């Protein structure tokens, strides 16, 4: 069995780029501290260049008209919701908000999402638009990944979020998979790849959302695989205002034996 894999969640400019002193170039959904997380992770990759056998990277990938973006929804006056607005099934039924695209499907999505009893539907600033600068991997990390490939290694990218009628936080499936859209369903290929490694280090953005949901999904779908995970706690940060949202997920992970460490640890976990 191969030893060490690294799974990086959404290390993209829209989450990781703080911009310059004037705010130019700042990611549209910048996560405070993410640039330092990714620089620490880049240093960790360089330090353990020989020991890391595989790098997988999820790439958040959205259309402008995405169910989590403001211009997907409008109120009775035609106004779009502000970023970070919470939209509920009840509010849509009562007419406070309406979906501009496939209203029936969108309402059913909210109903199924809320039936899970987990994350509510939050409207984010438009982010990680397919093909945009914001969707690109943050350059300091990209440089480290390229250096890692020099001796004949290959990183794997996994696009998520391309189907605009469901959120897709986690690496392994959409929040509400669609039976007719394979890209929203459980990513068996990624699971089978990771199963061939002894240790799977987990890092990326944001700790509160996409990293946490990746961890939850693997715990739900394959506890045996989840037991191989090692969370790099200083290579991820929370979305501001959601600092405690994922605490139950991380608490559950600790109880299931998921290991936690930092990039500053003197050696890799055995």
| pLDDT tens readout for residues 190-231 | 999 999 999 999 999 999 999 999 999 999 999 999 999 999
| pLDDT tens readout for residues 135-194 | 999 999 999 999 999 999 999 999 999 999 999 999 999 999 999 999 999 999 999 999
Given a cut of 80, whether residue 75 has pLDDT beyond it is yes
> In 3D, which of 82, 58, 169, 68 has the Cα closest to residue 118?
169
Go through 20-44 and write b for each residue having 16 or more CB atoms within 10 A of its CB, e for each that does not: eeeeeeebbbbbebbbebbbbbbeb
Q: Strand pairing of 156-160 and 259-261?
A: unpaired
Higher pLDDT, 243 or 267: 243
Mean per-residue pLDDT, 67-79? 97
Give the per-residue pLDDT at 22: 81
Domains of the chain with CATH codes:
2-65+129-261 (3.40.50.850), 70-115 (no CATH)
Backbone angles phi, psi at 208, to 5 degrees: -75, -20
Give the per-residue pLDDT at 269: 82
Within a 10 A sphere around the Cβ of 95, how many other Cβ atoms? 9
The whole-model pTM stands at: 0.97
Which run of H or E residues covers position 159?
strand 156-160
Give the per-residue pLDDT at 143: 98
Give the per-residue pLDDT at 89: 98
Give the per-residue pLDDT at 139: 97
Q: Which two tokens stand for residue 199?
A: 């240790």
Q: Rounded distance, CA 15 to CA 2, Å? A: 31
| 52 Cβ contact partners less than 8 Å away, ≥ 6 residues apart | 4, 5, 6, 45, 148, 201
Given a cut of 90, whether residue 266 has pLDDT beyond it is no
Given a cut of 80, whether residue 93 has pLDDT beyond it is yes
| pLDDT tens readout for residues 39-67 | 999 999 999 999 999 999 999 999 999 99
Give the per-residue pLDDT at 38: 98
CA dihedral 205, 209, 211, 214 (to 10 degrees): -150
Q: Strand pairing of 2-9 and 52-60?
A: parallel
């Amino acid at each position: 069995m191969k030893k060490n894999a690294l799974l990086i969640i959404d290390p993209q400019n829209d989450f990781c780029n703080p911009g310059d002193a004037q705010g130019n170039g700042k990611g549209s959904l910048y996560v405070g501290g993410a640039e330092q997380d990714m620089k620490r992770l880049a240093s960790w990759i360089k330090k353990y260049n020989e020991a890391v056998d595989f790098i997988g990277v999820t790439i958040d990938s959205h259309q402008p008209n995405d169910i989590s973006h403001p211009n997907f929804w409008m109120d009775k006056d035609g106004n779009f919701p502000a970023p970070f607005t919470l939209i509920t099934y009840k509010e849509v039924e009562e007419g406070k908000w309406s979906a501009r695209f496939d209203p029936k499907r969108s309402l059913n999505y909210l109903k199924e999402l809320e039936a899970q009893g987990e994350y509510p539907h939050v409207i984010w600033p438009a982010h990680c638009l397919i093909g945009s600068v914001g969707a690109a991997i943050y350059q300091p990390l990209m440089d480290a990944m390229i250096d890692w490939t020099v001796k004949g290694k290959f990183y794997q990218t996994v696009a998520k979020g391309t189907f605009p009628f469901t959120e897709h936080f986690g690496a392994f499936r959409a929040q509400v998979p669609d039976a007719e859209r394979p890209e929203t369903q459980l990513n068996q290929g990624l699971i089978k790849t990771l199963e061939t490694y002894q240790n799977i280090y987990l890092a990326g953005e944001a700790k509160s959302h996409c990293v946490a949901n990746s961890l939850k999904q693997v715990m739900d779908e394959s506890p045996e695989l989840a037991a191989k995970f090692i969370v790099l706690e200083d290579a991820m940060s929370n979305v501001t205002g959601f600092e405690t949202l994922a605490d139950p997920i991380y608490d559950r992970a600790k109880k299931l034996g998921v290991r936690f460490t930092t990039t500053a640890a003197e050696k890799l976990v055995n």
